[in-house]
Amino acid sequence: MNQETLAHLSSADAVLGGLIRAVGPYKLATPQDCHPFQVLAQAIAHQQLNGTAANTILKRLVDSCGQGKFPTPHQVLEASVERLRAAGFSFAKVAALKDLAAKTLAAVVPDGAALMQLSDEDIIARLTQVRGIGRWTVEMLLMFQLGRPDVLPVDDFGVRAGFRAAYGLRGMPHPRALAAWGERWKPFRTTAAWYLWRALELKRAGTLPAPAERIRLPRVKRLRRAARRGPAKARRGKPRARAAVRARKVRARRASPAGARAPRSAPRGRLRKAKKTG
């Protein structure tokens, strides 16, 4: 990693600079040729499974549909649901896998060479059209397959937890607040994310340095509960009507002699007692 990158991050953020010094040099494997269909199919297989189970399913897919090689989009589309289910894919994952194959053949999912020519946001917009593929999955592809230098996966639990640990926060940072803070790390946010992942390793080892300074994250506007119940006019209508009724009652009391209230009627219990004794 270029020392200028680490110098930029350290000067832009004192806490991150301390983390960089504690972790040491940035180590991320050099990206190889990217095959989007294969990468995304593997991502679908790994969803909600541990690595061993997912790799077993992928091996069955290779053996049953690809005759020893990773299957092509055509082979996945031609494979029956029963065959994919027998490999270990759930019904939802079968639907996602077939949608990925169809969108690859339709060039919604481009090949590796075409993908390299697109911007990060264009890639995210294209690939998240596939069923079962979200922004986080595409961000991992951008970082580890394409080697894009300025990706910050703010929805990633490890990144958020690492930020919380490194910066000494009481609670988890909101993704939008983390995104706003990460603006200072541009154009090297991938490197910053890698160091935040390492922060959790240092915390488990008991070697995480104390933050160089205390920070206050930008405030994030949250939807009020009242805003979810309906339009503003509907929310304001009833409280205003009640206030108007109270105001009329106050004016009526003030207009009565000595501003006194009208005597209250006797409670029902007393009336019943009086009838019995009478």
Q: Is 33 noted as a catalytic residue in this protein?
A: no
Specify whether the CB–CB gap between 132 and 92 falls below 8 A: yes
- Two tokens, residue 2: 């270029």
How far apart CA 36 and CA 263 sit, in angstroms, is 82
Task: Quote the CA–CA distance of 99 and 174 in Å, as a whole number.
Answer: 32
**Long-range contacts of the stretch 248-251 (C-beta < 8 A, 24+):** none
Cβ burial 216-237 (10 Å sphere, 16+ → b, else e): ebeeeeeeeeeeeeeeeeeeee
Q: Locate tokens 């939807």: which residue?
A: 223
> Of 111, 120, 155, 156, which is the active-site residue?
156
Active-site amino acid positions:
156
